[in-house]
Amino acid sequence: MKPVWKRKFVHTAESKHALPIASNLVARRFNPAVPNLAYASDITYIRTGAGLLYLAVVLGLFSRSVVGWAIAPSMPAALVYDALRMAIQARRPAVGLVAHSDRGS
């Protein structure tokens, strides 16, 4: 016997909203010349025995390493903010940092 996993679609982004949308300052230039010039972020979910957990991750585009993260049992707007705050507190980037994310939550 072997288990059969049924993939369930989990709606995690709300693209149809009236909130302002920031300009795309990265414009597909994903290879900055120096560290802490540009970060990218996204949210994913992790299925656990206790239910879904939402994980927000901030990557430094120069090193491609995780520079901040946050996890929560729901997906509040503050989730990405908390991950970005962790990255800024740890890395102390100069003024002018560009933080890029999708247009989801």
pLDDT in tens, 5-54: 666 666 656 667 777 777 777 777 778 888 999 999 999 989 888 889 99
Q: What pLDDT is stored for residue 81 in this prediction?
A: 92
- Closest Cα partner for 66 from 99, 97, 44, 39? 39
Average pLDDT over residues 61-75: 94
Tokens of 76: 């509040």
pLDDT, residue 75, reads: 84
Model confidence pTM above 0.85 = no
CA 2 to chain centre: 34
Q: Evaluate if residue 94 carries a pLDDT over 60.
A: yes
Report percent pLDDT > 90 for the chain.
44
Q: What pLDDT, on the 0 to 100 scale, is given for residue 8? A: 67
Q: Give the range among 34-38, 77-81, 101-105 with minimum mean pLDDT.
A: 101-105
Q: Average model confidence (pLDDT) for the chain? A: 84
